A = this chain, B = another copy of it.
Amino acid sequence: MGISGYTGLAVLEILLKHPNARLTYISAHTTQGPVGEIWPQLAGRTDLMCEIFDVKKAAAQCDVVFLAVPHTSSIDITPKLLQAGKTVIDLSGDYRLKNAAEYEKWYAHKHTDTKNLKTAVDGLPELYREKIKGAKLLSNPGCYPTAAILGLLPAASTLSDTITSIIIDAKSGVSGAGKKTSPNLMFCEVNENFKAYKVLAHQHSPEIEAYINNAAGTNLALTFTAHLLPINKGILETIYIQVNKKTTAEKVHSLYSKFYKNEPFVRVRKLGVQPELKDVVDTNFCDIGIAVNEVGNLIIITSVIDNLIKGAAGQAVQNFNIMYGFKETEGLL
């Protein structure tokens, strides 16, 4: 696994405490040495060494490989690992869009592994738990998509014929952008500031559409807007579902509560209560709030997650648990 970014660190921290995982190979693109020196918070908790990534060594030493690498890198690595008979849990965006042309459009990079693109399993347990059990290549969903899809699933699955439009107004903490050095992500540019970005041009938009249209069995009109919050962690999405039929807050709440009744990591909050980022940060939970503007036939869903946990590393481990038959919450509560 790659550990120089925030997601890799988050996977590492979870797996270090996971009773069924044994870490055998830790690597990064350009960083090497004791893990406890690369990430001082892990000093005294592990003696693991980080090596410069070598795909043959990874294949030789691991049964399952977590790829917390930048978009476009996974396309190079994944086919070799699969070829070697290994299981891959990919946290990059490379196997999320199932159409190579669409990938090229949104990621500005040609997809050269279209064969595995077809068989990659989408890793949202709440929607694809059964398929995940048999996955050899699991494509872990993006952070924005996870919060959006969990906020939309019950409505999209059962009310799709009455939905006329969906607007997702998303706000994310800065770690969602990864650990890259960028002038726009310098402290003084973000702190005490707030803005929309990549309006109508965010690569998570088609990923959300694909999931939702699959669940709905039809094409739903969807607009996604991302904003940058001056905080480290957490995503809140305010989702406006326009329907053309009267409904009530009670009905929608009942629908969502039933839909997620048995889900270990989705908590539908009481009517009148709004979830806050601090309820889910550092956890694998997605919390959902519900309100309905009954005059305007508008359902308002708020969905919150920790972008690095349920939006990345935690969900990857949840998928890992499902794939290997461990308790789904192992290492995550």
Question: Which residues from chain A sit less than 8 Å from chain B, CB to CB?
Answer: 6, 17, 40-41, 43-45, 165, 167, 169, 171, 174-175, 179, 181-183, 185-197, 199-200, 221-223, 225, 227, 229-234, 236, 238, 240, 242, 264-265, 267, 269, 274-283, 285, 287, 289, 291, 293, 295-296, 298, 300, 302, 333
Contacts and interface: CB of A to CB of B under 8 A. Distances in A.
Given A44-B267, A267-B43, A280-B41, A188 B232 contact: yes
A12 to B, nearest CB: 14
A40 B186 contact: no
Contact of A274 (B195, B221, B293, B298): B195
Each complex incorporates copies of this chain amounting to: 4
Nearest to A178: B188
Nearest to A290: B199
B41 A279 contact: yes
Of the candidates A41, A222, A274, A302, the one having the most CB atoms from chain B within 10 angstroms of its own CB is: A41
A236 B192 CA distance: 12
A295 B221 contact: yes
Given A40-B279, A278-B41, A289-B196, A223 B236 contact: no
Contacts of A40: 267, 269, 275-276, 279, 287
A238 B229 contact: no
A193 B277 contact: yes
The 6 closest A-B pairs by CB, nearest first: A195-B276, A40-B279, A169-B169, A187-B190, A193-B278, A174-B187
A239 to B, nearest CB: 10
A17 B188 CA distance: 24
A282 B280 CA distance: 15
